[in-house]
Chains A and B, each alone.
Chain A
Amino acid sequence: MSLADRLREEAFRLYLRWRGRPAVVAAALDRLGIARTPNCDALPSDSIRVAAVQMRLRLVGGASEYAEMIGTRARDAAAAGAQLVVFPEDSGTHLVGMLPGLAGLGEGVSLAEATASLAGPGAKPVDVLRFVGPAVQSIYETTFSEVARRLGVYVASGSAMLPDAAGVVRNVGYLFGPDGAALCRQVKCHLLPLEAGWGLRPGDDLHVAPTPLAAIGLPICMDATYFETSRILAGLGAELILIPACDVFEGRAVGPGRAAAGEPTKPYSAWKALRGLWPRVQESQTFGVHAAMVGGMLGMTATGRSAILAPLELTADGSGIVAQASSWDQEEIVAGDLDRRALRELWESADVADGFNIELYRRHFPGAYAEFRERHAGGRVVPTP
């Protein structure tokens, strides 16, 4: 890269940072007139009210528009009494719209194609995310922190793809407290192959934030497909697991079963959704909040039904669902009440730990994972008889 190019690049970075400075976010939230709520004043409490924001994936042009988008939805959730507001995965992806030229590329253009168009044929999506990351991070953290503080509620930001100090881009979510402090930062530990293909790297740790509201774990999307996530979090003391999600619908047939039957891929499948947070809540006897991103941009279409979840035994109809979005493709706020005392009583009467076979687990964990990976280094093979 020539010196002139480097200077131009640095100047543009500074420009993005300036456009996303905290004062811009603050001014946008001031215009919304967000008032503090008393929702968290009585904590700790045995009964808590949580909300999932089901929102649309779209490009936004800058910090002001972004803060207004997040602030409006959080305000609506808090107005419904929510003490915790959970946003979906990729809630920070909207901000890539700050890159000039992106919005003009058309809806069907994928992130990889957009990257090549904006940054040249050799560029990868992670290069774009790395470039715009510092500006995105500033806007993202400021917005959610300020929204939490102004409303006086807990806010789980969902996630954004952000670079760390070494330039490694990861999918990261935060939990902010009613005073705006960041209580927890969680990196997605199980990526989609799509994300890995973009150049993202997974995290290797899980955290539980002990708060007066509840002990909260906040893994991200695909993390919920792996039982290990909720087992570890519950073992660390989590009573509430949040899953911000952005389930991308692939229009083409993936499974040979569907292709053979001639069935088109459905944009939303309740059965596929059943592979996520619902079974994790049942297995590990926690509460759960699933917040879904919907809509499309950059060639991706996301669908999902946000939900508030509990063990089957703690829901009146035995479904494990306290509240659920009525749609899988529209914006909604889903709120529900969780009874922490009932959960503790369930643990006392029928703790799943009663059946743990720790000697069996010692024999196989964690070694079996590495051994499997070594045996299938070239890809998992299913032998036929």
Chain B
Amino acid sequence: MSAGTVRAAAVQLDAGGLNGPRAVLAATAEMVEEAARAGARLVIFPAHTGTLYVAAELGLQSPLVAAWAEARAEEIAESAAEWVRAARRLASGYGVTLLPGTVLWPARLEPPGPAGRGPDQAWHHAAPVVLPDGRVARWQTQTHVRGGERELGWEAGVDLSPVDTPAGRLGVLIGDDIWYPEAARILALQDAVVIACPAAVRAPYDERHQWRGLWQQVQQNQVLAMEAGLGGEGLGVRWQPRTAAFGPVEMTAGETGWLARMESERSGALIADLDLSMLGEVVRAYDIFSQLNPALYERYLPAVYERWRKAAGAR
């Protein structure tokens, strides 16, 4: 590995095996250990590992089927905080930057890490970024929430910022964020070079959806990225994982844009070497951002979104 390379792990989990809080913590610990032994300095888990933990610990119904009651916000927060504390112990114990997955957090309560400000609604779907010293460096909330999730009381966050980690300047995309190019662009314009995506996509997850998702965001922003997928049945949903690591086509074998991908849907850690030095060479050879057109964007952004929203359904 060259000096500018970060070995990273995207963990794929079968939700069917995460049927209790201890099972969630045990699976997390096992995978962090496996990744650390393989030399990973960055470990990313799928989405909803925290949600699975909280739901199992408190005996709650799946919040993906019916909204959690706000009246239980404090105990949900305490359970989620315990899940985060466990992640912090693992991160510091193994000396890794860790995204242990995501959890639903009561929007009106202060989260365990820096989150920026958000509106007061019921639930945020969020991911902590834990540094090797155990600190929560960032609490990133999903920023693109659509109708079905809004009906479950989810509220989109309004802060999207990368965070400096020993694994590079890291941005996090959650859920539908990966299908809204604005999100990755905002992160890249703030100099994110690695994007972590804790993912949980309902089956069937066609590969072409991934092409237009994280694969696309990597190409049009010239960043590196890893998607960690949830599989199996859990929280009342059948999930399909497509755990993978991505880079600009110029730095991948066969010019495919894939650095590595899991070939099965079983639980396991996908290890990939994120070569930031090579990424720098790709950018020097052809910097996509050199041809951005701020004069054009100033003319239309963000007003065009409001215009579109007003005409939605009848463009």
B113 within 8 A of A: no
B168–A320 CB distance below 8 A: no
How many A residues face the partner with a CB closer than 8 A? Answer: 79
Closest chain B residue to A269 by CB distance? B255
Stretch of B12-20, B30-38, B295-303 lying at the A interface: B295-303
Closest chain B residue to A236 by CB distance? B304
A235: chain B residues within 8 A (beta carbon): 300, 304-305, 307-308
Closest chain B residue to A376 by CB distance? B289
The total of Cβ contacts below 8 Å across the A-B interface reads 250
B157: chain A residues within 8 A (beta carbon): 360
**Which of B179, B186, B296 has the most chain A CB atoms inside 10 A of its CB?**
B296
A228–B296 CB distance below 8 A: yes
Binary CB contact string for chain B from 173 to 200 against chain A (1 if under 8 A, 0 otherwise): 0001001111001100111010000000
Q: Is the interface of B mostly helix, strand, loop or mixed?
A: helix
Tell which of B165, B215, B300 touches A206, judged by Cβ atoms closer than 8 Å: B300
Tell me the bound Cα distance from A206 to B169 in angstroms.
33
A373: chain B residues within 8 A (beta carbon): 292, 294
**A357-B315 contact, Cβ under 8 Å, with A193-B290, A256-B282:** no
Binary CB contact string for chain A from 249 to 271 against chain B (1 if under 8 A, 0 otherwise): 00000111110110100100101
B189–A368 CB distance below 8 A: yes
A366–B301 CB distance below 8 A: yes
B294–A366 CB distance below 8 A: yes
A5 within 8 A of B: no
Binary CB contact string for chain A from 302 to 328 against chain B (1 if under 8 A, 0 otherwise): 000000000010000011100000000
A371: chain B residues within 8 A (beta carbon): 189
Tell which of A354, A369, A385 touches B166, judged by Cβ atoms closer than 8 Å: A385
Tell me the bound Cα distance from A185 to B210 in angstroms.
35
Closest chain A residue to B176 by CB distance? A355
Q: Which residues of chain B in 129-186 are interfacial with respect to chain A, using CB atoms and an 8 Å cutoff?
A: 143-147, 156-160, 165-169, 176, 179-182, 185-186
Tell which of A232, A347, A361 touches B182, judged by Cβ atoms closer than 8 Å: A361
**A272-B249 contact, Cβ under 8 Å, with A204-B293, A358-B305:** yes
Distance (Å) between the CB of A116 and the closest chain B CB? 25
**A255-B250 contact, Cβ under 8 Å, with A193-B286, A382-B276:** yes
Tell me the bound Cα distance from A263 to B249 in angstroms.
13
B110 within 8 A of A: no
B206 within 8 A of A: yes
Tell me the bound Cα distance from A260 to B208 in angstroms.
29
A348: chain B residues within 8 A (beta carbon): 313-314
Stretch of A93-101, A275-283, A290-298 lying at the B interface: A275-283
Distance (Å) between the CB of B211 and the closest chain A CB? 6
A257: chain B residues within 8 A (beta carbon): 247, 250-253, 255, 278, 282
Binary CB contact string for chain A from 352 to 385 against chain B (1 if under 8 A, 0 otherwise): 1111111111111110111111011001111111
Stretch of A20-28, A105-113, A140-148, A219-227 lying at the B interface: A219-227
B219: chain A residues within 8 A (beta carbon): 274-275
A319–B208 CB distance below 8 A: yes
B211: chain A residues within 8 A (beta carbon): 274, 279
Closest chain B residue to A348 by CB distance? B313
Tell which of A193, A202, A237 touches B293, judged by Cβ atoms closer than 8 Å: A202
Tell me the bound Cα distance from A380 to B220 in angstroms.
14
B309–A358 CB distance below 8 A: yes
**A355-B145 contact, Cβ under 8 Å, with A271-B257, A381-B280, A384-B3:** yes
B298: chain A residues within 8 A (beta carbon): 366, 369-370
Taking A272-B249, A275-B249, A384-B168 as known contacts, 7 extra A-B pairs with beta carbons closer than 8 A to each other, sorted by chain A number, are A227-B181, A255-B251, A283-B180, A355-B146, A361-B182, A366-B294, A366-B302
- List the interface of chain B (C-beta within 8 A of A): 3-4, 6, 119, 143-147, 156-160, 165-169, 176, 179-182, 185-186, 189-191, 193, 206, 208-209, 211-212, 215-216, 219-220, 247-257, 276-302, 304-309, 311-315
